[in-house]
């Protein structure tokens, strides 16, 4: 299934001679004016300029000309709808536009009163006329003035009448365009809190989901239990259906049923709260199968999880390919709106078939890439070679590594292979009485040198845990390593190392790689009533456990690095761990993160969990935050100005090339709302984490990762009421008939304009 990734105001113009101007929906706008050359404009100081749309006290009324008529139309097209009663003033003669008739597909708003109970809608919004409409209005006004000018020169009626007619049509078209968006909002309810299933590709396959190029539409059917799907699969008379599925029913077996029928056009999954008690994992039962160290050439008895099934709850849904869109509904309120619309329009009553209009859903998630990474990247290369504007089909999954050293290094320094030691701390929650399991590789330990160094590493860890609440236990040497990055190092060379985990055999995490792997799942519980600032510094049990593990690892590394003194002073701070957990898993926009980030990173501060999904072109928010945290914890404050800090190459200090400099926001000034920024020097670096398969253009490689993500044009979801096919055909035919009649009427009126718009004789020119 791929990765479930995660919405004038013409105001009151100043009057002249006591006029109050046009008062409308959202308050005054002193810049209201008619288009150039129209009936009037407002000048500086509120004075009226130009020909009047109505008489001003003390002035003789001017004759009403075609230009005045066009100006009135201009005023109508510019005016938004106001729910208040219309007011007529000296400077605004035209009343507000009437409300258009409600479309048949409108979903009315839910009201607390008895009359509107159980009905949903979006309230109408009437935006300011757009740029295209304003251009059309100006053309109409110019056409009206041109007609008057020709008549003044004796050009005759035909030119003026034709210009007037064209002006009227242009104004009507312009005013119609400004209503289009509001009509759409009256018909559709957009679902804003959704997470789509997108398409991923590797060297041989495509996985994930997609819709048709114009989106997929279906009548909504809510499935709260498995028996409800019988209506979708066989009994329902209005296929295709868009199924709203409860989270507990989102299983591999059920999706295989929906996948094999044309009666399903898409799937919307409601997030289960609380999380499904049996557990849910869309990953594989054998994570990283084929990319770890174990294969037919290295430990074949351990390959493909033959010895230990690490993720027994894995159903593999993330690696299936679906030909219909699947969206996760993250907002419970939007889910309830969909269900209420279903109950009002689609729910069968007493066994009867529901009548039109029916509540429907439309999902857009068309993907550009198909087949595999090989096909996608080949097309991308061909496009880049022969096209000035190449179309991109997919992008390699790429992010950045964050790394640091205790001391600055340069390119001439060498690492000693004999000193290389790998220690990987996998996800640790210490669920079983603070027991930490030490995993080693049984194959590499057949080398005596490696075995001895692994033994020393385990002994250092054991000594470091003596005065802590962590108990270390070794797993059997006949058991392979769990899925971890250490396996990738072992593929290159026999490096002594261990993996620390909270499980001896299979994972304890029942929600591995799923949307339900939340802070609550790792026992991050906060007392009720805490403010965000209090929650930031509140030390949870999880933070205490992780701090204990960090203490053990730090002490062991200190000993392995040659430290001879006592390690009792080495102690991880639970408060710092609490701040990191809160920032990465609860709310990124907190006071600590705000004080340690660079000023150009303010945009990534969100009042929710930062994006953990891997990016395609630039570091994701989490990567940038990890970099900022590491800079804060390992860097040194230096007395540099902002200019010096951001441009260290301009400074004449020899070690400038060995460090990275960051101008951070700093804490808030207690005496103001501003911050106190400063410069931090550190050895924290970013390096691109791009698979060698893309650098070598070996897109079909089985040695390196070849995952890419498809590009798409539009991803969105919305619901609306759909009419019957017969009514849609009737509406289309009537619309075409009206269009043809309008064109014919326009033609005949324009042909007879000299008769219909003839001017009366000038009384002053008559002879007696």
Which whole number is the average pLDDT over 107-130?
35
State the pLDDT at residue 172. 58
Measured in whole angstroms, how far is the alpha carbon of residue 625 from the centre of its chain?
Answer: 19
State the pLDDT at residue 617. 74
Which whole number is the average pLDDT over 514-529?
92
Q: Is the pLDDT of residue 758 over 70?
A: yes
State the pLDDT at residue 171. 61
For residues 500-533, b (16+ Cβ closer than 10 Å) or e, as one string?
bbbbbebbebbbbbbbbbebeebebeeeeeeeee
Tokens of 699: 């897109």
Q: What confidence category does residue 567 fall into, taking pLDDT thresholds of 50, 70 and 90?
A: confident
Q: What is the largest CA-CA distance in the chain?
A: 132
Which whole number is the average pLDDT over 538-562?
93
> If you search the block for the tokens 């003390």, which residue do you land on?
58
Q: Is the pLDDT of residue 396 over 80?
A: yes
Calpha distance 217→294 (Å, rounded): 46
DSSP string, 462-527: HHHTTTSS-EEEEPPTTSPPPSSTHHHHHHHS---EEEEES-SSS-S-TTTTSTT--GGGGT----
Q: What confidence category does residue 131 fall into, taking pLDDT thresholds of 50, 70 and 90?
A: very low
State the pLDDT at residue 401. 92
State the pLDDT at residue 121. 32
Q: Cβ distance 67 to 148 under 8 Å?
A: yes
State the pLDDT at residue 714. 93
Between 34 and 322, the more confident residue is 322
Which whole number is the average pLDDT over 49-77?
41
pLDDT digits (tens, 9 = 90+) for 618-670: 788 899 999 999 999 999 999 999 999 999 888 777 777 889 999 999 999 98
State the pLDDT at residue 162. 56
State the pLDDT at residue 150. 44
Lowest mean pLDDT among 42-56, 419-433, 517-531: 42-56
State the pLDDT at residue 165. 57
Q: What confidence category does residue 7 fall into, taking pLDDT thresholds of 50, 70 and 90?
A: very low
> If you search the block for the tokens 């929710």, which residue do you land on?
608
Q: What confidence category does residue 434 fall into, taking pLDDT thresholds of 50, 70 and 90?
A: confident
State the pLDDT at residue 655. 77
Q: Cβ distance 99 to 81 under 8 Å?
A: yes
Q: Which residues pair with 718 in a beta bridge?
A: 190, 362
**CA distances to 299, 483, 484, 506, 515 from 702, in Å:** 18, 18, 18, 26, 29
Lowest mean pLDDT among 161-175, 227-241, 323-337, 672-686: 161-175
pLDDT digits (tens, 9 = 90+) for 579-616: 999 999 999 999 999 999 998 898 889 888 888 888 77
725's enclosing H/E stretch is helix 725-751
Lowest mean pLDDT among 2-11, 482-491, 535-544, 628-637: 2-11
Q: What confidence category does residue 73 fall into, taking pLDDT thresholds of 50, 70 and 90?
A: very low
β-strand pairing of 326-329 with 358-367: unpaired
Calpha distance 161→753 (Å, rounded): 6
Q: Cβ distance 681 to 635 under 8 Å?
A: yes
395's enclosing H/E stretch is strand 394-396
Q: Is the pLDDT of residue 109 over 50?
A: no
Tokens of 66: 């075609």
> If you search the block for the tokens 């802070």, which residue do you land on?
519
Q: What confidence category does residue 746 fall into, taking pLDDT thresholds of 50, 70 and 90?
A: very high
State the pLDDT at residue 177. 56
Calpha distance 606→608 (Å, rounded): 5
Instruction: Pick the most confident of 161-165, 202-206, 381-385, 609-613.
Output: 202-206
Q: Is the pLDDT of residue 21 over 70?
A: no
State the pLDDT at residue 649. 84
Which whole number is the average pLDDT over 681-695?
93
Q: What are phi and psi of 635, to 5 degrees?
A: -85, 175
Q: Within 10 Å of residue 395's Cβ, how many Cβ atoms?
A: 18
Lowest mean pLDDT among 16-30, 378-392, 668-682: 16-30
DSSP state of 235: I
User: Dihedral through CA 153, CA 77, CA 165, CA 739, nearest 10?
Assistant: 170
| Sheet hosting strand 422-425, strand order edge to edge | 422-425, 497-501, 435-439, 471-474
Q: What confidence category does residue 372 fall into, taking pLDDT thresholds of 50, 70 and 90?
A: very high
Which whole number is the average pLDDT over 217-223?
97
Calpha distance 232→239 (Å, rounded): 8
pLDDT digits (tens, 9 = 90+) for 493-510: 989 999 999 999 999 999
Lowest mean pLDDT among 155-159, 237-241, 534-538: 155-159
Strand, coil or helix: what is 679?
A: strand
Q: What confidence category does residue 20 fall into, taking pLDDT thresholds of 50, 70 and 90?
A: very low
pLDDT digits (tens, 9 = 90+) for 466-492: 889 999 999 998 899 999 999 999 998
Which whole number is the average pLDDT over 397-411?
85
Lowest mean pLDDT among 2-11, 263-272, 420-429, 712-721: 2-11
Q: Is the pLDDT of residue 178 over 60?
A: no
Between 464 and 260, the more confident residue is 464
Strand, coil or helix: what is 402?
A: strand
Q: What confidence category does residue 348 fall into, taking pLDDT thresholds of 50, 70 and 90?
A: confident
Q: Is the pLDDT of residue 108 over 70?
A: no
State the pLDDT at residue 429. 53
Burial of 124 (0-12, 13-18, 19+ CB in 10 A): middle
Tokens of 110: 């839910």
Q: Is the pLDDT of residue 557 over 60?
A: yes
- Give percent of the chain above pLDDT 90: 57
Strand, coil or helix: what is 234?
A: helix
Calpha distance 658→457 (Å, rounded): 31
Which whole number is the average pLDDT over 342-348?
93
State the pLDDT at residue 166. 61
For residues 7-29, b (16+ Cβ closer than 10 Å) or e, as one string?
ebbbbbbbbbeebebbbbbeebb
Tally the C-alpha atoms within 13 A of residue 646's C-alpha that lie toward its C-beta: 10
In 153-259, DSSP assigns E strands to: 189-191, 194-196, 200-201, 206-207, 216-223, 241-246
State the pLDDT at residue 619. 82
Between 115 and 711, the more confident residue is 711
State the pLDDT at residue 551. 95
Average pLDDT taken over every residue of the chain: 79
DSSP string, 515-565: TT--GGGGT----TT--HHHHHH---HHHHHHHHHHHHHHHHHHHHTT--S
State the pLDDT at residue 298. 94
Q: What is the length of the chain?
A: 768
State the pLDDT at residue 685. 93
Inter-axis angle of helices 66-78 and 157-187, to 10 degrees? 10
Calpha distance 737→549 (Å, rounded): 77
Q: Cβ distance 632 to 655 under 8 Å?
A: no
């Amino acid at each position: 299934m791929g990765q479930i990734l995660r919405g004038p105001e013409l105001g009151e113009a100043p009057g002249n001679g006591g006029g109050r101007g046009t008062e409308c929906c959202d308050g005054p706008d002193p810049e209201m004016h008619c288009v150039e050359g129209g009936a009037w404009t407002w000048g500086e100081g509120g004075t009226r300029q130009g020909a009047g749309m109505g008489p001003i006290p003390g002035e003789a009324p001017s004759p009403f000309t075609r230009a005045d008529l066009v100006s009135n139309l201009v005023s109508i097209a510019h005016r938004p709808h106001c729910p208040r009663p219309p007011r007529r003033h000296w400077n605004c003669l035209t009343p507000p536009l009437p409300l258009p008739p409600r479309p048949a597909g409108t979903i009315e708003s839910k009201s607390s009163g008895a009359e509107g109970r159980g009905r949903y809608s979006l309230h109408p919004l009437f935006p300011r006329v757009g740029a295209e409409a304003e251009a059309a209005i100006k053309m109409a006004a110019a056409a009206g003035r041109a007609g008057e000018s020709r008549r003044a020169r004796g050009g005759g009626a035909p030119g003026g009448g034709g210009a007037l007619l064209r002006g009227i049509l242009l104004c009507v078209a312009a005013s119609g365009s400004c209503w289009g968006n509001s009509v759409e909002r009256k018909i559709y309810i957009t679902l804003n809190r959704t997470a789509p299933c997108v398409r991923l590709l590797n060297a041989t396959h495509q996985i994930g989901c997609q819709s048709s190029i114009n989106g997929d539409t279906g009548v909504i059917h809510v499935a709260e239990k498995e028996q409800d799907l019988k209506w979708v699969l066989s009994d329902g008379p209005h296929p295709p259906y868009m199924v709203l599925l409860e989270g507990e029913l989102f299983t591999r077996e059920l999706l295989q049923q929906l996948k094999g029928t044309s009666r399903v056009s898409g799937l919307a999954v409601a997030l289960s709260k609380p999380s499904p008690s049996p557990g849910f994992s869309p990953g594989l039962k054998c994570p990283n199968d084929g990319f770890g160290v174990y294969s037919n050439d290295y430990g074949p008895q351990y390959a493909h999880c033959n010895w230990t099934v690490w993720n027994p709850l894995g159903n593999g849904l993330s690696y299936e390919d679906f030909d219909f869109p699947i969206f996760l509904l993250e907002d419970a309120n939007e889910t309830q709106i969909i269900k209420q619309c279903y109950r009002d329009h689609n729910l069968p009553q007493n066994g009867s078939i529901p009548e039109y209009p029916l509540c429907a859903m439309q999902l857009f998630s068309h993907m550009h890439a198909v087949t595999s990474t090989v096909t996608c990247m080949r097309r991308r290369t061909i496009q880049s070679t022969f096209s000035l504007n190449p179309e991109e089909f997919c992008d390699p999954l790429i992010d950045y590594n964050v790394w640091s050293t205790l001391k600055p290094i340069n390119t001439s320094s060498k690492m000693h292979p004999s000193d290389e030691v790998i220690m990987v701390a996998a996800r640790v929650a210490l669920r079983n009485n603070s027991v930490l399991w030490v995993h080693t590789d049984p194959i590499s330990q057949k080398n005596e040198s490696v075995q001895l160094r692994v033994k020393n590493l385990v002994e250092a860890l054991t000594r470091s845990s003596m005065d802590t609440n962590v108990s270390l236990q070794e797993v059997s040497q006949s058991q392979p390593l769990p899925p971890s990055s250490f396996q990738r190092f072992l593929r290159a060379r026999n490096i002594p190392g261990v993996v620390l985990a909270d499980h001896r055999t299979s994972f304890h995490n029942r929600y591995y790689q799923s949307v339900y792997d939340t802070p609550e799942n790792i026992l991050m519980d906060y007392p009720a009533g805490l403010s965000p600032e209090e929650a930031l510094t509140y030390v949870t049990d999880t933070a205490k456990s992780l701090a204990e593990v960090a203490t053990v690892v730090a002490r062991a590394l200190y000993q392995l690095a040659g430290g001879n003194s006592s390690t009792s002073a080495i102690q991880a701070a639970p408060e710092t761990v609490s701040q990191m957990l809160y920032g990465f898993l609860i709310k990124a926009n907190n006071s600590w993160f705000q004080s340690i980030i660079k000023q150009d990173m303010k945009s990534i501060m969100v009042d929710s969990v930062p994006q953990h999904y891997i990016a395609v072109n630039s570091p994701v928010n989490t990567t940038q935050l990890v970099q900022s945290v590491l800079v804060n914890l390992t860097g040194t404050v230096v007395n540099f100005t902002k200019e010096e800090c951001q441009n260290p190459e301009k400074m004449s200090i020899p070690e400038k090339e060995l460090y990275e400099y960051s101008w951070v926001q700093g804490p808030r000034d207690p005496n103001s709302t501003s911050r106190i920024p400063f410069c931090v020097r550190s050895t924290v670096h970013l390096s691109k984490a791009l698979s060698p398969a893309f650098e070598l253009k070996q897109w079909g490689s089985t040695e390196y990762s070849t995952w890419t993500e498809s590009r798409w044009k539009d991803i969105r979801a919305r619901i609306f009421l759909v009419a019957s096919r017969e009514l849609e055909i009737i509406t289309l035919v009537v619309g075409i008939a009206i269009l043809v009649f309008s064109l014919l009427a326009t033609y005949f009126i324009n042909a007879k304009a000299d008769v219909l718009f003839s001017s009366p004789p000038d009384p002053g020119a008559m002879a007696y």
